[in-house]
Amino acid sequence: MSADGGQRPPAGRQAGVPAAAGAGDPVRAAGCVLWRRPAAGAAVEICLVHRPRYDDWSHPKGKLKRGEDPLSGALREVEEETGHTAVPGAELPTARYLADGRPKEVRYWAAEAGPGTFVPTDEVDRILWLPADAARDRLTRPRDRELVDALLAALRDG
């Protein structure tokens, strides 16, 4: 039992991941919490992507290609999904969860948006640039909301 009274996962298991999910390698993915300042001194805005297949709002991310470096994959996914190049910053917390019954691991980075133009696709049909609080509220999954806080902390500390 942990200090707060909760159950600890058995050795070698991750909290929140059922024992059966531990079999096999996790799906590897990467993404960014893409941000910009629309004007000097303005508050940070965060880019969210809408995926019509899931009807959700999330950060740009995607599966890595075989042998692809995670940061390179994260920047590729940002450009594919948002149309923007990005300048990477601090690495943010890695998300681990089950997707279609398989363990999935998504590494994230803070990334400042560079130039670009969004073009809707079947994968991402809309993007929004929102202030941090509005982005947190719009995100579909709680684990994605935690990344907004991690980005703001990284920007404060960096």
How confident is the model at residue 20, as a pLDDT? 42
Compute the mean pLDDT over every residue in the chain, rounded to the nearest whole number: 88
User: Measured between alpha carbons, how far is residue 17 from residues 3, 31, 89, 93, 102 in Å?
Assistant: 20, 21, 29, 17, 10
How confident is the model at residue 15, as a pLDDT? 40
Token pair of 34, please? 């893409």
d(CA 46, CA 84): 13
Token pair of 89, please? 């910053």
CATH topology for the 25-157 domain: Nucleoside Triphosphate Pyrophosphohydrolase (3.90.79)
Closest CA to 143 of 89, 106, 118: 106
User: Measured between alpha carbons, how far is residue 141 from residues 39, 93, 97, 135, 148 in Å?
Assistant: 29, 15, 11, 11, 12
Segment 12-67, tens digit of pLDDT: 334 444 444 345 789 999 999 999 998 988 999 999 999 999 999 999 999 999 99
Q: What percent of the chain has pLDDT over 70?
A: 85
Segment 119-133, tens digit of pLDDT: 999 999 999 999 999
Domain ranges for the chain, please list them: 25-157
Comparing 55 with 100, which gets the higher pLDDT? Answer: 55
